[in-house]
Amino acid sequence: MAISLLQLLVIAIFLLTIIALIVSKQRPSMIFSMATLALLLCRAIDIDTVLNNATNKGLITLLLLLIISHAIDKTALLKRLARKLIIKDYSTSFLRLFGITFVASALLNNTAIVASLIGSVKQNQHHPASKLLIPLSYAAILGGTVTLIGTSTNLIVDSFLIEVGHPGFAFFDFTLFGLTAGLVCGILLYALKNWLPDIATDRQSDSGYLLEADVSNDSELIGHTVEQNHLRNLPELFLAEIVRNDQVISPVTPDEVIYANDKLLFSGNVQKMDALSHIKGLHLFAEYNGLMREALTEVVISNRSGIIGKTLKKVGFRALFDAAVVAIKRDGETLSGKLGEITLQAGDFLILATGQDFQQRNNIAKHFFIVSEQTITRKLSSSQDWLTIGGFLSVVVFAASSMVPLIIGLLFFLALLIGLNVTSYAEVKRNLPLNLLLVIVGALSLSSGLVNSGVIELLTDNLHGVLLDTSPLIALIVLYVCTLLLTEFVTNNAAAALMFPFAWALIEMLGVPVMPFALAVAFAASASFITPYGYQTNLLVHNAGAYQYKDFVKIGLPISILYSSIVITLLNWVYL
């Protein structure tokens, strides 16, 4: 069959997309968007195709899950677990970390799980973070392959199946393969623990902000040491000082006992202060004054301000500005002591929890330059916590038992979260994963272009003789390996999107069942163990653990071989 100009253009767009994903520093969303525009320009697709792809049921389900995962991330459960995961015994710590991450990632977005736990692992005082961060990432990857909703990759392949007229995956279609491979690879990962590097990292955050929290009389911290309370395992927050009866205790040792009315001074990332709000009986000043909201205001003290040279206590800050100081930072200097007794200087950065009157006060511009708005996670009430967790598990149960379609359950659950004030319309807008939306719509459009232009038909015609003599198992292995190699360089979601059209062509040509080939693409696209760049969780721990590329190769290669062998063997046994 002769190749047309349109087919040449579509092939060129496809190859340039892969090359750009590998070598370009542009975001995948930008690359796929440009590919879509190019396909529209050469008329391989039309605008109706793009709009149809944007309303794909699998894509909408994925977006709903990601938005809801941000609401679930507010709950206290994971934050309380994170603080207490790591103990002196490495084997117990490994088992806890792997088990909780594996189970949580089967139901929640695995990147969000790693982002929630990474700070506590990095700050732990018992083991080098490098001994635990690669296991954390791999546990999240493995757990994500256990159910349909465990990783965005599964839902992307599901959206492609729906696009070609297939009903899509059932909730537990992944479970036999993902659970078996995950648990066996977890055992191997523990056996390889001595291969994990021992890298010394600075556990103390250097962001410079100083936060003060008061220990109330009913606090769960009272009578226990800093180590027993896991106060050194907080994400991006470091316990710098304790102020007790006007005496400053610094440095704070692990065996220092906490008493009622202690003031705990933390330095670190102010956006991680929600980790403090989930500790019973530990309160920030702004919480006592009813000013703690989701949005905080960052300001710099002007050189014309009349509060320079005075302390917050003497100024009467709340009455003067209708705001409370949550944290203070001074460039080039480490601050010490109670926030209320620090003498303010021009150029000091303040994080303010503001009242409704703050913007209307006519003295704000005289004293401050407003820098930005800082968004923090608002603490949920106990009832909101339980309703959020219980509601999500109910949606999962109804979807898994086919009582209520997953997309319908998620829509109603999101409406419930908004109604209960767990999340808001503003948060939904802010957390909408626009980049991922552009990647999937672009990938679906690229797939449509390959089919509409006849490129897939051209490929299958040219390979028809060879493929007819090939066993389904060999075709499955080739598809799996190609997807696996691609995912190590262009990210998991892009690899799944790029390889699915070829998987569907094989299915139609060989007349084989859909499931093993669709599952092979999903599992292979998630199997990024060898490089830090193919999967988001690997990239997160790569930076946090100060790993080198060879560290992932050393541990990831045997994990990848074992994982792939189990998945392919089981797919062949069950389906072929």
Compute CA 338 distance to the chain's CA centroid, rounded to the nearest angstrom: 34
More confident: 523 or 463? 523
The domain containing residue 139 runs over which residues? Answer: 57-76+87-203+381-576
For residue 167, tell me if it sits in a domain. Answer: yes
At 201 the pLDDT is 62
How far is residue 43 from each of residues 39, 219, 281, 449, measured CA to CA in Å?
6, 66, 63, 9
Residues 131 and 186 in one domain: yes
At 174 the pLDDT is 95
Compute CA 205 distance to the chain's CA centroid, rounded to the nearest angstrom: 21
Specify whether the CB–CB gap between 164 and 53 falls below 8 A: no
Q: Where does a domain end: 347, 375, 403?
A: 375
Specify whether the CB–CB gap between 324 and 352 falls below 8 A: yes
Grade residue 208 by pLDDT with cuts at 50, 70 and 90. Answer: low
Q: Where does a domain end: 375, 390, 408?
A: 375
Residues 390 and 415 in one domain: yes
Q: Is the pLDDT of residue 520 over 90?
A: yes
Residues 109 and 195 in one domain: yes
Specify whether the CB–CB gap between 216 and 269 falls below 8 A: no
Q: Which residue has the tokens 């010490």?
A: 336
Residues 464 and 370 in one domain: no
Residues 251 and 304 in one domain: no
Does the reported pTM lie above 0.85? no
Residues 195 and 304 in one domain: no
Residues 492 and 468 in one domain: yes
At 364 the pLDDT is 83
Residues 350 and 411 in one domain: no
Q: 102-157: per-residue pLDDT in tens? A: 999 998 878 778 877 887 788 787 888 899 999 999 999 999 999 998 888 898 89
At 21 the pLDDT is 80
CA distance 437 to 439: 5
At 464 the pLDDT is 62
Lowest mean pLDDT among 76-90, 384-398, 517-531: 76-90
At 320 the pLDDT is 85
Report the range out of 9-18, 105-114, 203-212, 511-520 with the highest average pLDDT.
511-520
For residue 284, tell me if it sits in a domain. Answer: no
Q: Which residue, 145, 181, 191, 177, is CA-closest to 571?
A: 177
Tally of structural domains, the chain: 3
Q: Is the pLDDT of residue 452 over 50?
A: yes
At 124 the pLDDT is 80
Grade residue 431 by pLDDT with cuts at 50, 70 and 90. Answer: confident
At 295 the pLDDT is 65
Residues 417 and 433 in one domain: yes
Grade residue 483 by pLDDT with cuts at 50, 70 and 90. Answer: very high
At 230 the pLDDT is 82
Q: Outline where 453-491 has alpha helix (H).
A: 455-468, 472-490
Mean pLDDT of 302-309: 84
At 356 the pLDDT is 76
Specify whether the CB–CB gap between 76 and 385 falls below 8 A: yes
Q: 216-244: per-residue pLDDT in tens? A: 998 889 999 988 888 877 877 888 889 88
For residue 473, tell me if it sits in a domain. Answer: yes
Q: Is the pLDDT of residue 86 over 50?
A: yes
For residue 31, tell me if it sits in a domain. Answer: no
Q: Is the pLDDT of residue 286 over 80?
A: no
Q: Where does a domain end: 344, 375, 406?
A: 375
More confident: 72 or 332? 72
Residues 175 and 226 in one domain: no
At 291 the pLDDT is 59
For residue 434, tell me if it sits in a domain. Answer: yes
Residues 447 and 561 in one domain: yes
For residue 288, tell me if it sits in a domain. Answer: no
More confident: 377 or 235? 235
Q: Is the pLDDT of residue 207 over 80?
A: no
For residue 12, tell me if it sits in a domain. Answer: no
Mean pLDDT of 392-403: 88
Residues 313 and 215 in one domain: no
More confident: 371 or 293? 371
Grade residue 205 by pLDDT with cuts at 50, 70 and 90. Answer: very low
Q: What is the CATH classification number for the domain harbouring 237?
A: 3.30.70.1450
Query: Counting beta carbons within 10 angstroms of the beta carbon of residue 464, is it exposed (0 to 12), middle (13 to 18) or buried (19 or more)?
Result: exposed
Grade residue 459 by pLDDT with cuts at 50, 70 and 90. Answer: confident
At 132 the pLDDT is 93
Q: Is the pLDDT of residue 38 over 60?
A: yes
Percent of the chain topping pLDDT 90: 25
Report the range out of 152-161, 164-173, 514-523 with the highest average pLDDT.
514-523
For residue 33, tell me if it sits in a domain. Answer: no
